[in-house]
């Protein structure tokens, strides 16, 4: 489990290079949320499950004081190196999002790339409690996740190829969905082709939890004073959103 965030950490940005190109647009939307939904000016942000810091770095580039937290030190090593190369002052902390040692310190807490889906119902309650502790009054929590309805019809394997210097990285991904439990298994075969013709292959299996907007709202309303659910980077839910955004105000 979690090979993608440990043994493959140095390849994470290569594997998700195309996904990373959408981050600027997503941060544009998150800034709209900061300005319109937070009850205080957002200056200091805690980015949970920050990984290699793709959104974290973009937030710092835009002038926010950012702290990134992640469970995997291998990912944080990559994030710290990127920030140093860009001359950005970002504090990256090795820690568990369910046990945050911050109190009333942040104007906003973010969680990108569907990371909230790694938490089951009990863990999400712990997460929300940690987030509330970390936020200042009027601060805002923003997290995105995928629509299970679309995932159910998107089960065909996807294959993509990226260059990494003189290496070629070929990734095959596919999904298996448990409808009764609303869990889905995200599986990868990552093949790294070396210039001498040798191949290193890694099998990755991640288990995620799918939630409807109603389920997330009911859970979040027990912790946040105000809860909104948006769809597809629009400040309304819409009828057929592919991706949802949770906005919770302390």
Residues in the chain: 250
| In the chain, domain spans | 3-147+211-249, 149-209
Look up the CATH architecture of domain 3-147+211-249.
3-Layer(aba) Sandwich (3.40)
In this chain, the answer to whether the domains covering 3-147+211-249 and 149-209 adopt an identical fold is: no
Look up the CATH architecture of domain 149-209.
Single Sheet (2.20)
Note the pLDDT tens digit of each residue in 114-126: 999 999 999 999 9
Note the pLDDT tens digit of each residue in 26-44: 999 999 999 999 999 999 9
User: Residue 142: what are its φ and ψ, rounded to 5°?
Assistant: -130, 125
Hey, what are 94's tokens?
A: 């090795």
| Spatial separation of the C-alpha atoms in residues 141 and 144, rounded to whole Å | 10
- The yes-or-no verdict on residue 149 having pLDDT over 80 is no
Note the pLDDT tens digit of each residue in 166-224: 999 999 999 998 988 999 899 999 999 999 999 999 999 999 999 999 999 999 999 99
| Spatial separation of the C-alpha atoms in residues 69 and 125, rounded to whole Å | 18
Mean residue pLDDT of the chain comes to 95
């Amino acid at each position: 489990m979690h090979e993608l965030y440990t043994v493959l950490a140095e390849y994470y940005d290569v594997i998700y290079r195309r996904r990373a190109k959408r981050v600027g647009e997503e941060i544009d939307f998150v800034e709209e949320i900061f300005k319109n939904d937070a009850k205080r000016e957002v200056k200091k942000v805690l980015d949970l499950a920050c990984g290699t810091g793709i959104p974290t770095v973009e937030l710092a580039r835009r002038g926010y004081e950012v702290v990134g937290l992640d469970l995997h030190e291998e990912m944080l090593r990559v994030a710290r190196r990127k920030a140093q190369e860009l001359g950005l002052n970002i504090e990256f902390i090795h820690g568990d999002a369910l046990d945050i040692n911050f109190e009333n310190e942040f104007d906003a807490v973010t969680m990108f790339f569907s990371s909230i889906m790694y938490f089951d119902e009990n863990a999400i309650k712990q997460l929300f409690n940690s987030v509330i502790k970390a936020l200042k009054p009027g601060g805002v929590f923003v997290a995105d996740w995928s629509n299970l309805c679309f995932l159910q019809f998107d089960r065909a394997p996807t294959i993509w190829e990226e260059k990494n210097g003189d290496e070629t990285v070929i990734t095959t991904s596919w999904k298996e969905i448990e409808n009764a439990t609303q869990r889905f298994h995200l599986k990868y075969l990552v093949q790294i082709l070396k210039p001498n013709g040798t191949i290193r292959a890694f099998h990755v299996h991640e288990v995620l939890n799918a939630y409807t907007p109603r389920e997330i709202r009911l859970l979040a309303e027990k912790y946040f004073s105000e809860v909104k659910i948006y769809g597809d980077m629009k400040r309304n839910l819409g009828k057929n959103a592919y991706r949802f955004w949770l906005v919770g105000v302390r």
